Amino acid sequence: MAFDDAQVVATGLGFPEGPVALPDGSVLCVELRHGRLVRVAEDGTVDTVAELGGSPNGAAIGPDGAAYVCNSGGFCFMDLGPIAVPQTPEGVTQPDDYIGGRIQRVDLSTGEWTDLYTEVDGHGLRGPNDLVFDGDGGFWFTDHGKRRVRDEDRGGLYYARPDGSSVTEVVYPLEAPNGVGLAPDGRRLYVAETHTGRLWAWDLSGAGQLAGTADDRTLVAGLPGMQLFDSLAVEEGGNVCVATLVNGGISVISPGGDVEHLAADGELFDPLVTNICFGGADRTTAWITLSGTGRLVRCDWPRPGLRLPP
């Protein structure tokens, strides 16, 4: 199955990720390659909201109406024809001008921003990637880590308060954790690992609290071969929609582990489909980032996405 009804809304973006559909019909995106947060209007006009430096990787709206951004601190890039790839031929992702990982808060009305968190328990954040707010006003985020010529970081899962007062390491280590999302009832947390192509789930007992230990996790689904997972969004009915790399598309995974792949085919093909979010009055409009080719597309989705806090 393909999302062949998709319309290209914006082009020329610098490896866009982290789309956030806003009530006025516009969409926020981060640009890893340009180090900024932008707003894409319905007609495709792109305006810069904030120059953040590094490589902002994911975004979400907090309970105060500000945008909260996972900034991975910088990325190496190489161009393979029309496709931008966020690593060197040797697989290195940490650039010489790496500024360290951080969680940032952006005032959408002014563009002013602050670094909210740069470390946890004395350990510097390496490559914060994606985040999701819960109904209690806190947020979960992943740290994907960075790769260097001879070594690489191990990733983790964290929970933080948006006022900068508290951040906790909840699960460590994980293998390149990327997308993170909550089940409709808020009692199950999903994390997609990129390199393993696996979607994991933990049951929750409260805000920032696992029901069991870090090892008490469920493998919801795993993809064969060299298919890799990126970010994700959850449908109102509980399916988890995971952007899938290499074969280019969205893997729709039921809570029980059934998988349906929706491909970006033809002129839409991009091996680096990285993110999806839902917008529109009934949340059946999907916004998808085709990051390798720098495009943001819009398509009708067969089911409504989950309404996100606040």
Give tens-digit pLDDT for 161-216.
Answer: 999 999 999 999 999 999 999 999 999 999 999 999 999 999 999 999 999 999 99
C-alpha 112 chain-centroid distance = 22
CB 265 within 8 A of CB 222: no
Task: Kindly report the pTM of this predicted structure.
Answer: 0.97
Task: Please give the average per-residue pLDDT across 119-141, as a whole number.
Answer: 98
Closest C-alpha among 155, 160, 208, 162 to residue 182: 208
- Give the Cα separation of 129 and 117 in Å (integer): 13
CB 232 within 8 A of CB 180: yes
Task: Please give the average per-residue pLDDT across 95-106, as a whole number.
Answer: 98
Q: Which residues lie closer than 8 Å to 251 by C-beta, 6 or more apart?
A: 221, 223, 227, 229, 241, 242, 243, 244, 259, 260, 261, 262
- Give the Cα separation of 310 and 184 in Å (integer): 14
- Give the Cα separation of 170 and 216 in Å (integer): 12
Residue 177, strand partner residues = 193
CB 270 within 8 A of CB 295: yes
Name the burial class of residue 90, with classes exposed (0-12), middle (13-18) and buried (19+) by CB atoms within 10 angstroms of its CB. Answer: exposed
Chain segment 264-289, per-residue pLDDT in tens: 888 899 999 999 999 999 999 999 99
Chain segment 233-267, per-residue pLDDT in tens: 999 999 999 999 998 999 999 999 999 999 888 88
Closest C-alpha among 70, 81, 94, 93 to residue 17: 70
| pLDDT for the residue numbered 2 | 66
Domain ranges across the chain: 7-300
Ordered strands of the 228-234 beta sheet: 228-234, 240-245, 249-253, 259-263
CB 199 within 8 A of CB 222: yes
Band the pLDDT of 225: cuts 50, 70, 90: confident
* Sign of the CA dihedral with 3 first, then 45, 162, and 99 last: positive
CATH of domain 7-300: 2.120.10.30
Q: In the predicted model, is pLDDT for residue 18 greater than 60?
A: yes
Q: In the predicted model, is pLDDT for residue 3 greater than 90?
A: no
Percent of the chain with pLDDT over 70: 99
Pairing of strands 83-85, 78-80: antiparallel
Place of tokens 């308060």: 161
